[in-house]
Amino acid sequence: MRLAFNTWVYSSFPVWVPSYPLDETIRRLARIGYDGIEIGAAAPHAYPDYLDDAARAGIRRHLDDNGIAVSSMLPAPGGGPGFNVASPLAAERDAAIDQYRKVARLCADLGGKTLLYVAGWQVFGTPAEQAWDWTRDALTDVAAYADDLGVTVVVEPTSADSNLVETCDGALRLMRESGRRNVKVMFDTYHCLYRNEVPTDYVCRMGRDLGHVHLADVARSAPGDGKVDYPALIDALREVGFDGYLTMEIGFDTRAVEPDNIARRAYEYVKPLVS
């Protein structure tokens, strides 16, 4: 299992500061020891419209020079454009699908092979079945596009933030209904905590369909600073033969944070567990 770190805490999303350029962020995470970087598609790091071919080539070289790979990418839902694939506005749904395609392309351009899929959320007045159909259709579309790029799409239940795909079962059902072979599932220990569920149970139930994992503890703190049982979690991952990235997605919900500090603490706690 390789270790990766999600870039939100170094970016301007969701809180604006602290904020570091992407090249600085890459250099810092590589120096700490991470194998991979999960790049959020948000300014000032990697909003697709802002990066032309030359910029992408430059990032790729910088990644190679620092010996760190792109583990995965994901869009930034909830800002001005929303990017809610289940929005009642057709214009927003179209823009959301378009953004997923752009992120998939950017991910491939940077050498990444995994795209996270947030299923959107139900706005007041939209029937649940309607919202579900919209997110399923969007996923099918995005996955078809990603397949041609060699990118796998992983569906993440996001109970703490949304109201559409909140559970292990919801993610598995959406995966099946997409009908695409390059769709898998993932989970985030933080969202398990929000539902008072046991992260290790997610490993057992997702099994071979598990394509990616997010680690975070109480209040988005670093693994080891909260209450999740990481030794058990990593044992379970070994048992099901998981060979993807364990990605820390931490610290990003407040400006009262030192990004390097939380990145290093997480690495130093988890690295011995996977070695």
Report the distance separating Cα 165 and Cα 176, nearest Å.
13
CB 155 within 8 A of CB 175: yes
Q: Is 251 in the site for a copy of itself (CB under 8 A)?
A: no
Minimum distance of a copy of itself from residue 6's CB (angstroms):
15
Please identify, among the stretches 58-66, 116-124, 180-188, 240-248, the one whose residues bind a copy of itself according to the rule CB under 8 A. Answer: 116-124
CB 265 within 8 A of CB 217: no
Q: Which residues, numbered 164-183, are part of the site for a copy of itself (CB under 8 A)?
A: 166-167, 169-170, 172-173
Name the 3-class secondary structure at 37: strand
| Residue from 5, 8, 34, 47 in contact with a copy of itself (CB under 8 A) | 47
Identify which of 188, 105, 200 has the alpha carbon closest to the alpha carbon of residue 154: 188
Query: Is omega for the bond preceding 44 within 30 degrees of 0, making it cis?
Result: yes
Please identify, among the stretches 65-73, 83-91, 109-117, 143-151, the one whose residues bind a copy of itself according to the rule CB under 8 A. Answer: 83-91
By beta-carbon proximity to a copy of itself, the closer residue of 57 and 261 is 261
Q: Say which amino acid occupies 60.
A: R
Helix (H) / strand (E) element for 174: namely helix 168-178
Q: Is 228 in the site for a copy of itself (CB under 8 A)?
A: yes
The footprint of a copy of itself on this chain (CB under 8 A) covers a number of residues equal to: 75
Burial of residue 11 (CB within 10 Å: 0-12, 13-18, 19+) is buried
Please identify, among the stretches 76-84, 145-153, 180-188, 237-245, the one whose residues bind a copy of itself according to the rule CB under 8 A. Answer: 76-84
Q: Is 20 in the site for a copy of itself (CB under 8 A)?
A: yes
By beta-carbon proximity to a copy of itself, the closer residue of 257 and 273 is 257
CB 178 within 8 A of CB 211: no
Please identify, among the stretches 36-44, 63-71, 134-142, 146-154, the one whose residues bind a copy of itself according to the rule CB under 8 A. Answer: 36-44
| Residue from 1, 27, 35, 88 in contact with a copy of itself (CB under 8 A) | 88
Minimum distance of a copy of itself from residue 207's CB (angstroms):
12
Please identify, among the stretches 63-71, 87-95, 178-186, 240-248, the one whose residues bind a copy of itself according to the rule CB under 8 A. Answer: 87-95
Q: Which residues, numbered 195-214, are part of the site for a copy of itself (CB under 8 A)?
A: 195-201, 204
Identify which of 173, 185, 236 has the alpha carbon closest to the alpha carbon of residue 213: 185
CB 115 within 8 A of CB 74: yes
Identify which of 153, 87, 146, 91 has the alpha carbon closest to the alpha carbon of residue 116: 153
Q: Is 125 in the site for a copy of itself (CB under 8 A)?
A: yes
Q: Is 54 in the site for a copy of itself (CB under 8 A)?
A: no
What are the φ/ψ torsions at residue 221 (nearest 5 degrees)? -80, 170
